[in-house]
Amino acid sequence: MKVINFDDQDTWLEARKTKITGSKLKDIVVLRGKEKKIGYYELIAERLALPPDDENPMERGNRLESEAIEEFEKVTGKKVDNSLQMWVSDDEESIALSPDGVIGETEAVEVKCLSSARHIKAFFELVPKDFKFQTLQYFIVNEKLEKLYFAFYDPRLIVKQFFFHVIERKDIQEEVEKYLEYQKNIINEINEIVNELTF
């Protein structure tokens, strides 16, 4: 075993990066299943990305969204309408979604500007589990939507700063129908409770 001594905490913290330490091990070890945990992707990000700043993740996402849309347009040649709008379902007005970008009547773009580790994780997943229902909601609300481009953008990375996955209605239609019905049932329950409490 090699022992390294440090004179200050900043140097010590820098030396810990890219290494599996005792406190990181819990975020790497997979006890059930085969899916890699976020610590695995954090180790990759530490090797491939600039260090994260202290910017609020929501503010960062909002700030970078238009850059990501521009990148999407460059890569695909598609013109994206990213004006502020909301889609409301014809089936139930309480079911809605605000798209990040719209391409005609049958295509849309959702943009995520995540931490570098989550960005890298998303590269290996068609639809990250965290965003499954958001993806479905696009198709639930807009019955004409055939294709969703789920785009990821992180300019801090030295590789794969931008990429997207394509989700098509035909591949998820069964789930779309299932969760439309689920939402309608929930809204009916809520309406009954509200009526009961207001009379």
Better-predicted residue by pLDDT, 43 or 168: 168
pLDDT at residue 6, as a whole number: 64
Q: Above 80 in pLDDT, residue 191?
A: yes
More confident residue, 152 or 158: 152
Between CA 153 and CA 76 the distance in angstroms is: 15
Query: What does the alpha-carbon distance between residue 111 and residue 101 come to, in Å, rounded to a whole number?
Result: 8
pLDDT band (50, 70, 90) for residue 175 = very high
- The pairs formed by 7-12 with CB atoms below 8 angstroms and a separation of 24 or more are none
Contact 107, 93 (CB under 8 A): no
Between residues 57 and 159, the one the model is more confident about = 159
Q: How much of the chain, in percent, has pLDDT values that exceed 70?
A: 77
Kindly list the distances between the CA atom of residue 16 and the CA atoms of 19, 99, 116, 158, 193, in Å, as whole numbers in the listed order: 6, 40, 17, 21, 53
Mean pLDDT of the chain: 83
The pLDDT confidence band at residue 159, using thresholds 50, 70 and 90, is: confident
Residue 112 binned pLDDT confidence (cut-offs 50, 70, 90): very high
Topology, domain 55-198: Lambda Exonuclease; Chain A (3.90.320)
Per-residue confidence (pLDDT) for residue 59, from 0 to 100: 80
Which tokens in the block code for residue 71? 């990148």
Three-point CA angle 166, 170, 171, nearest 5°: 65
Percent of the chain with pLDDT over 90: 40
How does residue 129 score in pLDDT terms, banded at 50, 70 and 90?
Answer: confident
Rounded Cα–Cα distance for residues 96 and 89 (Å):
6
Mean pLDDT of 59-74: 89
Using the 8-state DSSP alphabet, how is residue 41 labeled? H
pLDDT of residue 62: 80
Q: How far, in Å, are 21, 85, 102, 132, 195 from residue 198 at the CA level?
A: 56, 32, 39, 35, 5
Task: Determine the average pLDDT of the residues in 150-158.
Answer: 91
Residue 33: its pLDDT value, please? 72
Q: Report the range of poorest mean pLDDT among 26-40, 150-164, 181-195.
A: 26-40
Residue 100 has pLDDT above 90, yes or no: yes
Cα 97 from Cα 82, distance rounded (Å): 14
Domain ranges of the chain: 55-198
Sequence-distant contacts of 23-26: CB under 8 A, at least 24 apart: none
* One-letter identity of residue 152: F
List, in sequence order, every residue forming a beta bridge with 109; answer none if it has no partner.
Answer: 101, 149
Res. 185 pLDDT band, cuts 50 70 90 = confident
Give phi and psi for 43, each to the nearest 5.
-65, -40
